[in-house]
Amino acid sequence: MKLIEESAYRFRIERTGSMRVPGIVFASHALLPSPGEDQALQQVVNVATLPGIRSASYAMPDMHWGYGFPIGGVAATDVAQGGVVSPGGVGFDISCGVRLYAATDLDQAQLAPMLDMVMDGLGMATPRGMGKGAVWSLAGRDQLDEVLVGGSRYAVAQGHGVARDLERCEDGGAVEDANPSQVSERAVNRGLHQVGSLGSGNHFLEVQVVDKVLDARVASAYGLTMGQVCVMIHCGSRGLGHQICSDHVRTMEKVMRAYAIEVPDRQLACVPVEAPEGVAYLGAMAAAANYARANRQLLGEAARRVFERVTGQGLDLVYDISHNLAKIETHDVDGERRRLCVHRKGATRALPPRHVDLPADLVEIPGVGQPVLIPGSMGTASYVLTGVEDAPAFASTCHGAGRTLSRHKAVRVVKGEALKRRLEAQGIAVRGASWRGLAEETPEAYKDIEAVIEAAEGAGLARPVARLRPIGVVKG
- Domain CATH code at residue 344: 3.90.1860.10
At residue 271, φ and ψ (nearest 5 deg) are: -145, 165
463 strand-pairing partners: 386
Instruction: Tell me if 325 sits within 8 A of 436, measured CB to CB.
Output: no
> How many other β-carbons are positioned within 10 Å of the β-carbon of residue 212?
14
Say how far apart CA 432 and CA 410 lie, in whole Å.
16
Say how far apart CA 471 and CA 278 lie, in whole Å.
44
Q: How remote is the C-alpha of 285 from its chain's centroid? A: 15
Write down the pLDDT at residue 298: 96
- The amino acid at residue 381 is A
Instruction: Tell me if 342 sits within 8 A of 327, measured CB to CB.
Output: yes
What angle, rounded to 10 degrees, do the helices at 276-311 and 238-255 form? Answer: 170
Write down the pLDDT at residue 131: 56
Helix (H, G, I), strand (E, B) or coil at 325: strand
Pairing of strands 348-349, 84-85: unpaired
At residue 267, φ and ψ (nearest 5 deg) are: -70, -10
At residue 210, φ and ψ (nearest 5 deg) are: -70, 110
Output the pTM of the full model: 0.96
Residue 59 lies in a domain: yes
Write the burial class of residue 133 (CB in 10 Å: 0-12 exposed, 13-18 middle, 19+ buried): middle
Helix (H, G, I), strand (E, B) or coil at 244: helix
* Nearest alpha carbon to residue 84 among 235, 261, 213: 261
Pairing of strands 53-64, 71-78: antiparallel
Write down the pLDDT at residue 5: 97
475 strand-pairing partners: 204, 432
Say how far apart CA 386 and CA 38 lie, in whole Å.
30
pLDDT tens string, the chain, 476 residues long: the values are 889 999 999 999 999 999 999 999 999 999 999 878 899 999 999 999 999 999 999 999 999 999 999 999 999 999 999 999 999 999 999 999 999 999 999 999 999 999 999 999 999 999 987 655 678 878 789 999 999 999 999 999 999 999 999 999 999 999 999 999 999 999 999 999 999 999 888 999 999 999 999 999 999 999 999 999 999 999 999 999 999 999 999 999 999 999 999 999 999 999 999 999 999 999 999 999 999 999 999 999 999 999 999 999 999 999 999 999 999 999 999 999 999 999 999 999 999 999 999 999 999 999 999 999 999 999 899 999 999 999 999 999 999 999 988 888 999 889 999 999 999 999 999 998 888 889 999 989 999 999 999 999 999 999 999 999 999 999 97
Say how far apart CA 256 and CA 359 lie, in whole Å.
39
* Nearest alpha carbon to residue 69 among 322, 260, 323: 323
Say how far apart CA 419 and CA 54 lie, in whole Å.
44
Say how far apart CA 135 and CA 299 lie, in whole Å.
7
Say how far apart CA 234 and CA 377 lie, in whole Å.
12
| Domain count for the chain | 1
Residue 357 lies in a domain: yes
Write down the pLDDT at residue 137: 77
Write down the pLDDT at residue 466: 98
Say how far apart CA 284 and CA 291 lie, in whole Å.
11
Instruction: Tell me if 265 sits within 8 A of 57, measured CB to CB.
Output: no
Residue 414 lies in a domain: no
Residue 276 lies in a domain: yes
Helix (H, G, I), strand (E, B) or coil at 73: strand
Beta strands, E only, 334-476: 336-345, 348-349, 371-374, 382-386, 396-397, 429-432, 463-475
Q: What sign for the dihedral angle of Cα 248, 250, 253, 254?
A: negative
Say how far apart CA 282 and CA 352 lie, in whole Å.
25
Write down the pLDDT at residue 128: 86
Residue 438 lies in a domain: no
Residue 421 lies in a domain: no
373 strand-pairing partners: 384
Say how far apart CA 338 and CA 55 lie, in whole Å.
12
Residue 416 lies in a domain: no
> How many other β-carbons are positioned within 10 Å of the β-carbon of residue 45?
20
Which residues span the domain enclosing 453?
3-404+446-475
Residue 271 lies in a domain: yes
Q: Which position among 64, 323, 343, 399 bears the catalytic label?
A: 399
Q: What is the DSSP string of 331-367?
A: EEETTEEEEEEEEEES-EE-PPTT-TTS-HHHHTSTT
Q: Which residue stretches of 126-223 are H helix? A: 141-157, 163-167, 185-191, 216-222
- 399 belongs to the catalytic site: yes
